[in-house]
Amino acid sequence: MRRRLGLLFLAAICLGQEAGDPWSKGELMEPAALAAELHAAKPPVILCAAFSVLYRSKRIPHAIEAGPGSKPEGIALLKKAVADLPKDADIVLYCGCCPMVKCPNIRPAYRALREMGFQHVRVLNIPANMHEDWFGKGYPSEEGSPANGSMPGTK
């Protein structure tokens, strides 16, 4: 009986967490799909909602620092990063600081983008973390520390 109650409790937590995601399944992007889109004639705008230390150590090429999404100053950085983008811009948002179900940054950043009127926001599916789900799989990455909100190679 205890085991059944425990399983029911775990199932409720898991189902509750999934229901809490503000994005639809169609807005969830797999890493392989983004890796392919990086080589497109017009790749998406990539926003990193992670903590600055993670962004500054290693990131997806051309990602713009736009976080952490869990802090007011991170949301301010996100708003600054997208200020000049059209509302129909193709945006991919990622964090990868920890397992996505526990991520403190991705949901507030996604909600902020939607509240600002952005219509095409996708969330990169990073179930465990960036090391496991992106870097460890050999997808493109870059290192370095450009200025906040600027694209690598620009000021």
Domain coverage including residue 30: 24-143
Whether 44 maps to a domain, the answer reads yes
Whether 18 maps to a domain, the answer reads no
Whether 19 maps to a domain, the answer reads no
Residue that is written with structure tokens 């992106």 in the block: 134
Amino acid at 67: G
Alpha-carbon gap, residue 55 to 74, rounded angstroms = 12
Task: Provide the strand spans (E) within the chain.
Answer: 28-29, 45-48, 58-59, 64-65, 90-94, 120-124, 142-143
Enter the pTM of the model. Answer: 0.81
Instruction: For residue range 102-135, list pLDDT tens digits in order.
Output: 999 999 999 999 999 999 999 999 999 999 999 9
Whether 2 maps to a domain, the answer reads no
User: Residue 72: which CATH number?
Assistant: 3.40.250.10
* Domains of the chain: total: 1
Whether 4 maps to a domain, the answer reads no
Whether 15 maps to a domain, the answer reads no
Whether 155 maps to a domain, the answer reads no
Whether 113 maps to a domain, the answer reads yes
Tokens, residue 89: 């811009």
Q: What single string gives the DSSP state of each residue in 61-85?
A: TT-EE---TTSHHHHHHHHHHHTTS
Of 137, 131, 129, nearest to 105 (Cα)?
A: 129
Instruction: For residue range 17-50, list pLDDT tens digits in order.
Output: 445 899 999 999 999 999 999 999 999 999 999 9
